[in-house]
Amino acid sequence: MIEHHHINVFAALAAATSEIYATGIKTDQDGQVGNRKFGYTSLQAINEVAVPILARHGLVLSHVQNEVAVETTLTHIMTGQDISSQCPMRIGGADADGNPMQQIGSAQSYAIRYNVRAVLNLATDSNDSDNQGSGNQQGYSRGQQQSYQRRPAGGAPASQKALGYLDRLFGELGASPEKRGRFIKKASNGRTENAAELKSPECAKAIDRLKEAIADNKKAAASTAETESPDLGLDSEPNPEPVPQEAE
């Protein structure tokens, strides 16, 4: 069920990833390359945390596979805007054995996991097979690091487009500079009163609150207009015509 409505895919993604980082995703799998053991996060572990959060923010993941690659698309339900990532599938090899279909399934899961992490900007496992495969031999043992946790909520600075939209909403509400400053300070948890210093998730949250305030104002104005509308007498019975008196 969609609980948060955002103006575009970027605002929705910023809010969703901030929530995912705050939740954290556990490292749930063991792997080994040569003598080096490592832990990594499975696609199932990512989905268990990320999918419900994405759904609450109106976002859905989908995957399309062809002969050589898997493309993952994150779609914003309200606007139809999307962000995608494509990862090639490496199937088999000189030392490959086993069922070819199992090799395809393994390559597909690997590519989807890579894409999801790229689209959602999830930190790669510092000790996972992805890093080993890319030549990064610096990692940690399973016992040293059980999971990776999200950074504290913050994120990238708000875009100029988002800040411009925020300013238009303030204008529609007729907010004074003092009220704007107090509102921004509250949205940033006391960090700043300057809109230009807002982080993307903070700006998205502020926009959602302003849109709610505008909607509430419109409802209140409509209710007041109905209450104060003059009685035009359209719902009352018309006065009867006077009956002429017969002359005596």
At 22, the pLDDT band (50, 70, 90 cuts) reads: confident
Looking at residue 246, its pLDDT comes to 56
What is the C-alpha to C-alpha distance for residues 44 and 28, in angstroms, rounded to an integer?
9
At 230, the pLDDT band (50, 70, 90 cuts) reads: low
At 147, the pLDDT band (50, 70, 90 cuts) reads: very low
Closest among 96, 134, 90 to 108, alpha carbons compared: 90
Looking at residue 34, its pLDDT comes to 72
Q: What is the mean pLDDT of residues 219-247?
A: 60
At 247, the pLDDT band (50, 70, 90 cuts) reads: low
Structure tokens belonging to residue 98: 């086993």
Q: What is the mean pLDDT of residues 238-244?
A: 54
Looking at residue 146, its pLDDT comes to 34
At 89, the pLDDT band (50, 70, 90 cuts) reads: confident
Of 134 and 124, the structure prediction assigns the larger pLDDT to 124
What is the C-alpha to C-alpha distance for residues 169 and 206, in angstroms, rounded to an integer?
10
Q: What percent of the chain has pLDDT over 70?
A: 73
Average pLDDT, the chain: 76
At 72, the pLDDT band (50, 70, 90 cuts) reads: very high
In the predicted structure, residue 125 carries a pLDDT above the cut 90? no
Q: What is the mean pLDDT of residues 170-186?
A: 91
| Highest mean pLDDT, choosing among 16-20, 89-93, 152-156 | 16-20
What is the C-alpha to C-alpha distance for residues 109 and 92, in angstroms, rounded to an integer?
14
Amino acid at 61: L
Q: What is the mean pLDDT of residues 143-172?
A: 66
Looking at residue 240, its pLDDT comes to 52
CA distances from 26 to 39, 125, 133 (A): 10, 10, 21
**At what angle are helices 43-56 and 100-119 packed, to 10 degrees?**
40
In the predicted structure, residue 232 carries a pLDDT above the cut 60? no
Looking at residue 124, its pLDDT comes to 57
Give the other-Cβ count within 10 Å of 45's Cβ: 17
Looking at residue 131, its pLDDT comes to 43
Q: What is the dihedral of CA 186, 189, 192, 196, to 10 degrees?
A: -80
